[in-house]
């Protein structure tokens, strides 16, 4: 079981570290847009689209990493005072009854949306925008898959913690 946890955590960790570089790319592209607009009085729809694509990719690719690091938003009025065993039980139930079904539901309902986008090779509705909308929409499926994998890892960790008490 430990090997599975390590393998799944490594996937989330590596993708999370990769996606953190998207912040640097976003900053550089945003600076370029600002310099072009205010320094040279030129606009670029393409670069503005790139910033939006990078922003979306950052959040979608970073979601499993955030779960792995337990850095997601949690209202822990009661949770913080729970014993480790009770926290593990809450996490097990949350994964089984909320996160995993959510991932499966979003994946199933997004499939047709993404498939249609690929079939028509969807492009930006903006003139001179990024012509790869279908790739961005594919991240909806990717985030579900990555979150589901990390949820399995979290489930296994919490089962171990629950048994160990």
Write out pLDDT tens, residues 83-99. 999 999 999 999 999 99
pLDDT per position as a tens digit, 114-160: 999 999 999 988 888 888 999 999 999 999 999 999 999 999 999 99
Flag whether pLDDT at 74 surpasses 90.
no
Residue 76 has pLDDT above 90, yes or no: no
- pLDDT surpassing 80 at residue 165: no
Q: What is the mean pLDDT of residues 7-22?
A: 95
pTM beyond cutoff 0.85: yes
Q: How far is Cα 33 from Cα 43, in angstroms, rounded to an integer?
A: 7
Neighbours of 93 (CB within 10 A): 11
Average pLDDT over residues 69-92: 87
Q: Kindly list the distances between the CA atom of residue 33 and the CA atoms of 2, 44, 56, in Å, as whole numbers in the listed order.
A: 47, 7, 18
User: What's the rounded mean pLDDT across residues 33-42?
Assistant: 92
Half-sphere exposure of 105 (CA within 13 A, CB side): 6
Q: How confident is the model at residue 19 (pLDDT cuts 50, 70, 90)?
A: very high
């Amino acid at each position: 079981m430990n090997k599975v946890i390590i393998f799944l955590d490594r996937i989330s960790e590596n993708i999370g570290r990769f996606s953190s570089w998207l912040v640097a790319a976003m900053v550089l592209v945003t600076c370029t847009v600002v310099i072009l607009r205010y320094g040279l009085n030129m606009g670029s729809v393409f670069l503005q689209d790139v910033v939006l694509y990078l922003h979306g990719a950052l959040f979608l690719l970073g979601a499993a990493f955030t779960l792995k690091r337990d850095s997601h938003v949690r209202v822990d009025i009661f949770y913080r005072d729970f014993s480790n065993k009770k926290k593990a039980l809450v996490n097990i139930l949350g994964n089984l009854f909320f996160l995993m079904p959510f991932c499966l539901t979003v994946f199933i309902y997004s499939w047709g949306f993404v498939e249609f986008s690929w079939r028509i090779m969807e492009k930006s509705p903006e003139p001179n925008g990024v012509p790869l909308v279908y790739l961005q929409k594919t991240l909806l499926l990717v985030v579900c898959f990555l979150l589901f994998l990390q949820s399995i890892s979290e489930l296994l960790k919490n089962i171990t913690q629950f048994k160990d008490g």
